[in-house]
Amino acid sequence: MTEHSEAQTAAGAGPGGAAIRPFRIDVPQADLDDLRDRLARTRWPDELAGVGWAYGVPLGYLKELAEYWRTSYDWRRHEAGLNQLPHFITTIDGADVHFLHVRSPEPEALPLVMTHGWPGSIVEFLDVIGPLTDPRAAGADPADAFHLVCPTIPGYAFSGPTRDTGWGVRRVAGAVAVLMDRLGYGRYGAQGGDWGAAVARELGTAHPDRVVGVHVTLLTSRPPDDPAELAALTDAERERLGDGRRFEAEMSGYGRIQGTRPQTLAYGLTDSPAGQLAWIVEKFREWTDSAEVPEDAVDRDRLLTNVMLYWLTATAGSSARLYYETAHSGERARRMRNPTATGVAVFPKEIVRAVRPLAERTDNIVHWSEFDRGGHFAAMEEPDLLVGDIREFFRRFR
C-alpha cells in the first residue's frame, strides 16, 4: 500500500496529483423552504379502499409521512451530523465523485471501499462506520479495523448529475478503482449491496491483484439450464429461485422504467417531493424485514435523510440512468467469472437470496453466512450482524 498522508488529502493533492477537495454539505435555506412549500401543495391522487400496499404506497401512510417531513423532520440537525464525517470530492473520468474517507486510528487497518446502491446512499453506512473503523472503541478487537472509503456512485446525490452517457457498472467500478489509487491504497477490500455489490464484484474481477476480497449482501445467479442441475438443488434453494421469479413478476417495475425511460420518470420525481418520497419509500417497505411499514426496520429520520440526498441534488433521473446504461451495455450478458475470494451474507428479506451452488459457478466463494433477520438494507437494518460478518470475512486477508 502506498503511504497515505492525511495532510495530503486535506490539502487537496492525491498521490497521483489529481485534486481531492474537502467537501461540506451546506444546503441553502431557500431549498428547504421550497421543499416545505411543495409538500404543502401536493396534489394527491385517489385510492381504492381496502387494498393496503398491493397497488403501491397507501395514500394515508404517505400523507402522514409527508406531513412529518414537512413539519417535524429537522434537516439541519441531520446535515450537521453528516458533516461530522470527513467528506471529499474529486473529478474522475469527467465526473465529480463525492466520498467519505474515514481513517482508522489503528495504523495497520485494512482499507475497505463500501459502495451503496439504489435507492440508497452513504446514509446507509452511518451505523457501521464507527464499529468498522474503530473496533477498539466498540469493545471489539482492534485488529479488525478498516480504513473506510464510501463513495457516492456517479450520478447519485453529491456525485451527480453525470453529464455524459456510459456510466454503467463497469465505468463506475473503474472510477472507484481510480479513487482508491488516488488515495494511495494499492491493496484493499471491496464491499457492497445492491449496485454496490455489482461494483464490488466488478472490482474483484477487473483488479484481482489489488482487491484482496469481495464481500456482498446481494449476489444474483441465473437458474440452471440443465434440468439435472436444477434437480440437484435443495428444496430451499429452488424456493429461492422462485423468490427471484416473484420479484421479476411483482416488484421489478421500477427497474424496467429506470432501465428504459429514466428521463421521462425524472420529470415527476424531480418536481414532486411526494413523488420522490413514494418512489423510494415503497422499496424500503418491500425490501426490508418490516412487518407493516418501513419504520419497522429503518429509523424514520434516517429514511428521510436518505430521500433528502436525492431530492436536494435533483438526481432522481441521473441515478436511474445507471439502470439504463447497464441494461443497454450488455454487461450483464457478458458477466465474467470473479476470481477474487468472495464472501456472501444472506439476509432473509433480501429481494433475491443467493443460491450457493449457482454462485460458485461465477464467483470464488470462500465465506457464506445465513442470517435469520434483516433485509436488503443490511447496514441500516442490522448493522451489528453486517459488521460482524465483514470482520470475520476479511480476517483471512490481514
Grid coordinates representing 202 are: 466488478
The beta-strand segments (E) located in 193-325 are 211-216
Of 243, 239, 316, which is closest to residue 273 (Cα–Cα)?
A: 316
Q: φ, ψ for residue 237 (rounded to 5)?
A: -70, -40
CA distances from 211 to 125, 189, 218, 267 (A): 21, 5, 18, 39
Could you say which of 127, 194, 289, 301 is catalytic?
194
DSSP assignment letter at 294: G
Of 380, 307, 309, which is closest to residue 155 (Cα–Cα)?
A: 309
Listed in sequence order, the residues at least 6 apart from 394 whose beta carbon sits closer than 8 Å to its beta carbon are 110, 112, 144, 146, 189, 212, 213, 215
Catalytic annotation on 46? no
- Which amino acid, residue 255? G
Could you say which of 101, 324, 376, 389 is catalytic?
376
Catalytic annotation on 215? no
Listed in sequence order, the residues at least 6 apart from 250 whose beta carbon sits closer than 8 Å to its beta carbon are none
- H-helix or E-strand spanning residue 365: strand 363-370
3-class state of residue 388 by DSSP: helix
Q: φ, ψ for residue 338 (rounded to 5)?
A: -95, 110
Could you say which of 323, 324, 363, 389 is catalytic?
323
Helices 59-71, 273-286: axis angle to 10 degrees equals 120
- Rounded Cα gap, residues 168 and 170, in angstroms: 6
Q: ∠362-377-252 over CA atoms, to 5°? A: 70
8 A C-beta contact, residue 114 and residue 192: yes
Of 375, 124, 372, 361, which is closest to residue 251 (Cα–Cα)?
A: 375
Catalytic annotation on 323? yes
- Catalytic residue IDs: 194, 323, 376
